[in-house]
């Protein structure tokens, strides 16, 4: 005979445990990343081609993926990216992965969203060094793009707004869910080691979560670099002051995401920290007024590595041939 009282007790126990897990997750300062939802596959596919399209640059050799390499955590692992005519940029390229979770774009927040950001590098003389007008002329000269833009946007010519809209649609799906930390947040108590849990506890108790919180573990505020102790650098970047013109905003930068941070070295806006251990040490002293012991540093680094999630499985696209029929090779992934 089935003991209904035991069944009721077991269900109540399981439900109570699940409720406790959900409440515990909701109380954590960092939240899980949700998988991407693709609402317009055709626009995403067009945006993917544009992301890998070197003909958007004046030289025909630089694409978005050149500086935001999807095989390298969405960055290029350089202190500052190399642009048109081998010019070195003036700031470290932030990762494009999970960039849709940022409250603004660029280190200084000069773009309000991904659509506004996408048009910047095309016309930047130190990056792709083209212009919006020239880039549109090139795309309009390629029959394959004419057909795809018509399929996605309907009748009408190709415009820069349509280009940035498609690029943003692709970038919005570049999220990295299912990190081991996310699994732990969702109730898998075996997802993290004792050392990693100690690192997360230290990360919280030391105050790191005041800036690195939310699903992206950052990307949702501006903060001064060198809050407790001045940050010494020869780097010319002014931070938010370059946008607002207010000297009080000097060295105010958008807090970077810590998602996939083990892949996106070197660190900081000037790429001055080569390793996570260096970055943790500098942040502790300059932002928190705390010198972490080697053991504490190692614990925090171990925790940070649990934030690496599923990397986007992006198959390299075949780009439309030029107007003269010249086929385009599959662009390099690195």
Please identify every residue annotated as catalytic. Answer: 127
Torsion of CA 46, 157, 110, 29, to 10 degrees: -30
Q: 């107007």: which residue's tokens? A: 323
Tokens encoding 9: 């007790």
In contact, 84 and 58? CB cutoff 8 Å: yes
CA distances (Å), origin 81, targets 5, 90, 93, 105: 66, 8, 6, 17
**Strand partners for 223:** 253
In contact, 302 and 194? CB cutoff 8 Å: no
Cα distance between residue 27 and residue 22, in whole Å: 9
Q: 């990216």: which residue's tokens? A: 81
**Strand partners for 239:** 250, 252
């Amino acid at each position: 005979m089935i003991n209904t009282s035991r069944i009721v007790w077991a269900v109540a126990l399981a439900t109570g445990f699940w409720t406790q897990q959900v409440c515990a997750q909701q109380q954590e300062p960092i939240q899980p990343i949700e998988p991407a939802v693709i609402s317009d596959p055709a626009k995403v596919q067009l945006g993917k081609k544009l992301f890998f399209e070197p003909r958007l640059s004046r030289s025909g050799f630089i694409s978005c993926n050149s500086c935001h390499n999807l095989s390298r955590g969405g960055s290029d692992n350089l202190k500052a990216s190399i642009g048109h005519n081998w010019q070195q940029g003036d700031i470290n390229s932030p990762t494009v992965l999970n960039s849709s979770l940022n409250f603004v774009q660029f280190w200084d927040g000069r773009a309000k969203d991904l659509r506004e950001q996408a048009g910047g590098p095309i016309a930047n003389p130190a990056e792709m060094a083209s212009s919006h007008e020239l880039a549109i002329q090139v795309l309009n000269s390629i029959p394959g793009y004419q057909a795809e833009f018509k399929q996605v946007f309907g009748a009408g010519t190709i415009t820069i707004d349509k280009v940035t809209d498609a690029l943003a649609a692709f970038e919005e799906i570049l999220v990295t869910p299912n990190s081991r930390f996310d699994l732990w947040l969702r109730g898998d108590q075996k997802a993290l080691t004792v050392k990693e849990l100690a690192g997360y506890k230290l990360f919280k108790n030391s105050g790191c979560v005041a800036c690195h919180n939310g699903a992206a573990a950052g990307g949702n505020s501006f903060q001064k670099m060198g809050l407790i102790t001045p940050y010494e650098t020869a780097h010319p970047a002014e931070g938010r002051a370059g946008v607002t013109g207010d000297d009080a905003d000097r060295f105010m930068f958008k807090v970077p995401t810590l998602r996939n941070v083990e892949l996106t070295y070197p660190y900081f806006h000037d790429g001055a920290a080569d390793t996570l251990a260096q970055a943790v040490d500098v942040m502790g002293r300059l932002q928190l007024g705390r010198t972490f012991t080697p053991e504490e540093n190692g614990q925090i680094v171990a925790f940070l590595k649990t934030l690496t999630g599923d990397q986007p499985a992006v198959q390299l696209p075949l780009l439309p041939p030029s107007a003269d029929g010249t086929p385009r090779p599959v662009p390099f992934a690195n």
